Amino acid sequence: MKQILNYIDKSFNVPPRDLKMIIREFHSQMHKGLSGKTSSLKMLPAYVDRPSGREKGRFIALDLGGTNLRVLELELKGKGQIRLIAERKFVLQKTHISTNAESLFDFIAGSVKNFIRAQKIGDDKKIALGFTFSFPMKQTGVASGKLIHWTKGFSAKGVVGKDIVKLLKYSLLKKGLVNIRVAALTNDTVGTLVARAYKDQACDIGVILGTGTNACYRERVAQIRKFKDKRAHATHMLVNIEWGGFNKLERLPYDLELDALSTNPGEQVLEKMVSGMYLGEIARIILKDLIKRKILFAAGGCFSFNAKDNFKTEYMSEIEGDRSKGLRGVARALKRLGVSRATLEDKILVRKICKVVSMRAARVSAGSLAAVVTKMDPHLLRKHTVAIDGTVYEKYPGFARNIRVALRELFGRKNSRIRITLTKDGSGRGAAIIAAVATK
């Protein structure tokens, strides 16, 4: 028993020397990606730079990338101010995300139609739309881009390799929505950075730590060697790193088991160690193993740990957030899985497993973030605002603090030059701002 627990402890630990290794490998993969060489970091030009903060007008934003589809109407007032006029969520069904392009994009267009009707926006009124599509895309302009591959469990056929804006336009036309102009296509990390930069010019990194994980940053166009678009005369451009694909991390047997059961084996190595879609699953696989070895719940086994995705990341949050003496919150979470007779030792052990899994995730995120900052500014001579969004960062107990601890280990007092700001709903607001930049 001691042996296996020691192994888990040790193998999930990310000491400072591993953080430094992550930084080195990240830099090398970033360089390769920017030069168009094979790399686990795609480094995708976003065809947009930071906004000025003076953009104005009314826009529709569409946000697809996790569990819901959202449609919003927003008014940009200039001077960094934005007013949310209306917002609606539409729940994505399994069929939408896993059948085909038509089923997915008709659903999106249908939702836009419902929204527009409810908002009483007439057919005669032209309106620009910004689309946040949070998957890896090879963009060819601010309003065009092809899906490279799906992530986060999406698998609709006939979308990979296709221009997302064309697919959307086609479905919008089918629904008779001729007055909508799709003016911008963007990733959620870019949206988040742009939303924060609208009122804070020090913002140069956008991060998502939610269902999936990823980051973008501001790069000099001259450094993006593979970018040959001569029309662009801007000096800087945002680059979507797609850091979820980073694969220079040591994977444990638990990671390999998770990977084999996923919709995209071999891909998104970092994402599968860090993001909300997977943390619960890693913990489930470890716990299942401990149950099998009779180290956990020895008084009576429990089969609900055998089924994929049964242990949710939310349960981990609840378990780690439990400060009660008898660990009543842990007991509550376990009850949902049919365990009603856990001993105090069982509960302590379950919490410990959640802790090692979430700690590794926070430290790997911190190492990645540190790599992006030092790519722009190797000696941390300037201040950087990181705009961050996502349930894992926002809601997981201790996650934000653990990132900060790791940054302090890496940079000492200079860590305070990295300001991390929770930027809620950047993917909605950012899409509207980019649409404004594009229609100017």
Q: How many Cβ atoms sit within 10 Å of the Cβ of residue 303? A: 11
CB 237 to ligand GLC: min, Å: 17
Looking from the CA of 50 toward its CB, the CA atoms found within 13 Å total 23
CB 93 to ligand GLC: min, Å: 19
CB 240 to ligand GLC: min, Å: 7
Tell me whether residue 152 or residue 312 sits nearer to ligand GLC (CB atom). 152
CB 180 to ligand GLC: min, Å: 24
Tell me whether residue 111 or residue 211 sits nearer to ligand GLC (CB atom). 211
Tell me whether residue 135 or residue 305 sits nearer to ligand GLC (CB atom). 135
Tell me whether residue 96 or residue 272 sits nearer to ligand GLC (CB atom). 272
CB 244 to ligand GLC: min, Å: 4
Q: ∠ CA 260-261-267 to the nearest 5 degrees?
A: 55
Q: ∠ CA 277-149-23 to the nearest 5 degrees?
A: 65
Parallel, antiparallel, or unpaired for β 81-91 and 68-78?
A: antiparallel
Those residues with Cβ within 8 angstroms of residue 2's Cβ, 6 or more apart along the chain or in another chain: none
In the bound state, the residue with its beta carbon closest to ligand GLC is 212
Tell me whether residue 51 or residue 65 sits nearer to ligand GLC (CB atom). 65
3-state secondary structure of 381: coil
Tell me whether residue 116 or residue 216 sits nearer to ligand GLC (CB atom). 216
Let me know: does 406 contact 179? Beta carbons within 8 Å: no
CB 98 to ligand GLC: min, Å: 16
Burial of 379 by CB count in 10 Å (0-12 exposed, 13-18 middle, 19+ buried)?
exposed
CB 70 to ligand GLC: min, Å: 13
Q: Which stretches of the chain bind ligand GLC, using CB under 6 A?
A: 65, 134-136, 151-152, 187-189, 208, 210, 212-214, 242, 244, 271
Tell me whether residue 244 or residue 426 sits nearer to ligand GLC (CB atom). 244
- Residue 51's nearest CA partner among 220, 190, 228 is 190
Measured in degrees and rounded to the nearest 5, phi and psi for residue 134 equal -90, 70
Measured in degrees and rounded to the nearest 5, phi and psi for residue 171 equal -70, -35
